[in-house]
């Protein structure tokens, strides 16, 4: 009886839209796993700088398209924007591979990582209303895994971009509406994006200022140790993303904040992320790849990741309902805390614990203020 129930749930999972999130997050994680294992010292810090720049740039380049898609505005012009972004990333990745300059991770690498992140965000927004094919996600995952085992980082990056059309192959999703032209939809998305631009810029501080000060102010072995700690917890977040994906869909469907359901989602996220972190550390130890990390910093980063993923679940209500003033106010307050700590605590106490404190402070304040505001609305 129990075995049959488990089998039924597994079949439901692999036939649901959550499989898109699972596969794409795994692909993104494999890129970082490859860097984690293959690079060290200055090369690892260079990769981290390029990936950080690409991730930050992606938030700006995505404009408001992700929320437009989540709100049901999937049009041909939006699809064209997604395709153009993917093509730009593929061209950049092919040039990097041809020049064999991937070790330097120049600005071109940041462009490729930016395109990869934008495509992931927009595709996952579309996938929230889609069903996967029987073979597409498996083929995409296998392609990237093989490239990770046999190729260098430039090959893995190319494979990750090639995975998008494979994941979407024969998937059943919403048809693109006619809508307006690309120029008009760009203008609309930009105008809506400007409505929460203060949130976006402040969000960059909350999500990335800790890594910026690690690279610019701290540097060296301590920065590498902290960046590896963040990467371990980020992999765990990739594993937990299907929970975020599912919980966010439930919140959007209900149209309001249910404190009981949100609390359960947060505890579930914490449990999945904690289990994933322990598994990663165990595998690192078994394969003699164990990094030198501070346990206290690891705990702080873990809590920060739980807060950030929980925020992704609850904040969608504010964005879909265009409560941009509320979003801006909350994020500006959170960013003020982060900036104050980053430029007072870190220069004095150049340690992984100080940078982890910066990261946790921003996401904790952001989550608490968002839940409080939604309960009042």
Q: Cα separation of 201 and 328, whole Å? A: 10
The predicted structure's pLDDT at residue 219: 82
**pLDDT at residue 131 tops 70:** yes
Rounded CA-CA distance 186/319 in Å is: 18
Q: Do the Cβ atoms of 167 and 132 come closer than 8 Å?
A: yes
Please provide the DSSP assignment of 26-76 as one string. Answer: HHHHHHHHHHHHH--HHHHHHHHHHHHHHHHHHHHHTTTHHHHHHTT--BH
Q: Is the pLDDT of residue 5 over 60?
A: no
Mean pLDDT across the chain, nearest whole number?
Answer: 83
Domain boundaries, the chain: 17-188, 196-377
Binned at pLDDT 50, 70 and 90, residue 8 comes out as very low
- Looking from the CA of 231 toward its CB, the CA atoms found within 13 Å total 28
Q: Using an 8 Å Cβ cutoff, are 163 and 143 in contact? A: yes
The pLDDT of 174-197, averaged and rounded, is 82
- Cα–Cα dist 229/234, whole Å: 9
Beta carbons of 24 and 123 less than 8 angstroms apart: yes
Q: Work out the angle at residue 276's Cα, subtended by the Cα atoms of residues 121 and 57, and round it to the nearest 5 degrees.
A: 25
- Written as six digits, the tokens of 124 are 């996952």
Looking at residue 16, its pLDDT comes to 64
Q: What percent of the chain has pLDDT over 70?
A: 91
Cα(120)–Cα(66) distance, integer angstroms: 10
Could you identify the residue written with the tokens 């700690």? 229
Cβ contacts of 191 within 8 Å, gap of 6 or more: none
pLDDT in tens, 31-57: 888 888 787 788 888 888 888 889 889
As given in the structure block, the two tokens for residue 346 are 């870190």
Confidence of residue 248 (pLDDT cuts 50, 70, 90): confident
- For residues 38 and 307, the model is more confident at 307
- 313, pLDDT greater than 50: yes
Distance CA 232, CA 255 (A): 34
Rounded (to 5) percent helix, strand, coil in the chain: 80, 0, 15
Q: Of 114, 167, 177, 164, which Cα lies nearest the Cα of 138? A: 167
In three-state secondary structure terms, 106 is coil
pLDDT of residue 11: 42
Radius of gyration of the chain (CA): 20
Instruction: Mention every residue, 6+ apart, whose C-beta is less than 8 A from residue 77.
Output: 179, 180, 181, 182, 184, 185, 186
Residue 22: its pLDDT value, please? 76
Give me the pLDDT at residue 290, please. Answer: 63
What integer pLDDT is reported at residue 260 of this predicted model?
A: 74
**pLDDT tens for each residue of 56-94:** 899 889 988 888 887 778 888 888 999 999 999 999 999
Would you state the pLDDT for residue 364? Answer: 94
**Residue of 184, 219, 165 whose CA lies nearest to 77:** 184
Report CA 262 to chain centroid distance, whole Å.
Answer: 20
- Predicted confidence band at 1 (pLDDT cuts at 50, 70, 90)? very low
Q: How far is CA 282 from CA 92, 237, 290, 291, in A?
A: 36, 17, 8, 11
What is the pLDDT confidence band of residue 13, given thresholds at 50, 70 and 90?
Answer: very low
- Higher-pLDDT residue of 19 and 144 is 144
Between residues 90 and 101, which one has the greater pLDDT? 90
Q: What is the DSSP string of 304-334?
A: HHHHHHHHHHHHHHHHHTT-HHHHHHHHHHH
d(CA 91, CA 111): 10
The model's pTM is 0.78
| CA dist., res. 307 & res. 90, Å (int) | 33
Residue 177 main-chain phi, psi, to 5 deg = -75, 160
- Whether the pLDDT of residue 288 is over 50: the answer is yes
Q: Which two tokens stand for residue 289?
A: 């790849």
| CA pseudo-torsion sign 52, 321, 333, 231 | negative
Whether 238 shows a pLDDT value over 70: the answer reads: yes
């Amino acid at each position: 009886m129990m075995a049959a129930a488990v089998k039924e749930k597994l079949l439901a999972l692999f036939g649901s839209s959550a499989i898109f999130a699972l596969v794409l997050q795994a692909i993104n994680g494999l890129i970082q796993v490859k860097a984690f294992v293959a690079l060290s010292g200055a090369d690892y810090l260079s990769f981290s700088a390029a990936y950080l720049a690409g991730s930050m740039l992606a938030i700006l380049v995505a404009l408001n398209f992700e929320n437009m898609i989540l709100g049901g505005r999937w049009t041909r012009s939006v699809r064209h924007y997604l395709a153009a972004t993917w093509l730009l990333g593929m061209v950049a990745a092919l040039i990097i591979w041809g020049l064999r300059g991937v070790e330097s991770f120049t600005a071109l690498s940041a462009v490729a990582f930016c395109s990869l992140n934008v495509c992931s965000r927009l595709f996952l927004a579309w996938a929230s209303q889609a069903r996967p094919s029987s073979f597409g996600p498996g083929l995409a995952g296998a392609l990237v895994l093989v490239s990770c085992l046999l190729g260098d980082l430039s090959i893995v990056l190319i494979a990750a971009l090639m995975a998008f059309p494979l994941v979407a192959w024969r998937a059943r999703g919403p048809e693109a509406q006619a809508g307006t032209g690309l120029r008009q939809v760009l203008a609309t998305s930009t105008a809506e994006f400007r409505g929460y631009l203060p949130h976006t810029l402040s969000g960059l501080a909350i999500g990335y200022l800790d890594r910026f000060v690690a690279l610019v102010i701290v540097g060296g072995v301590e920065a590498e140790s902290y960046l590896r700690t963040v990467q371990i917890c980020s992999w765990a977040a990739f594993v937990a993303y299907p929970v975020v994906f599912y919980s966010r869909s439930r919140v959007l469907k209900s149209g309001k904040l249910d404190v009981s359901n949100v609390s359960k989602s947060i505890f579930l996220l914490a449990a999945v992320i904690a289990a994933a972190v322990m598994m990663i550390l165990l595998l690192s130890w078994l394969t003699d790849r164990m990094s030198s990390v501070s346990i206290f910093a690891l705990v702080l980063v873990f809590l920060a990741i739980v807060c950030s993923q929980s925020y992704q679940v609850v904040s969608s209500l504010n964005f879909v309902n265009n409560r941009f003033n509320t979003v801006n106010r909350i994020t500006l307050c959170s960013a003020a805390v982060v900036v104050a700590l980053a430029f007072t605590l870190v220069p004095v106490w150049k340690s992984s614990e100080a940078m982890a404190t910066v990261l946790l402070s921003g996401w904790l304040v952001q989550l608490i203020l968002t839940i409080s505001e939604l309960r009042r609305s």
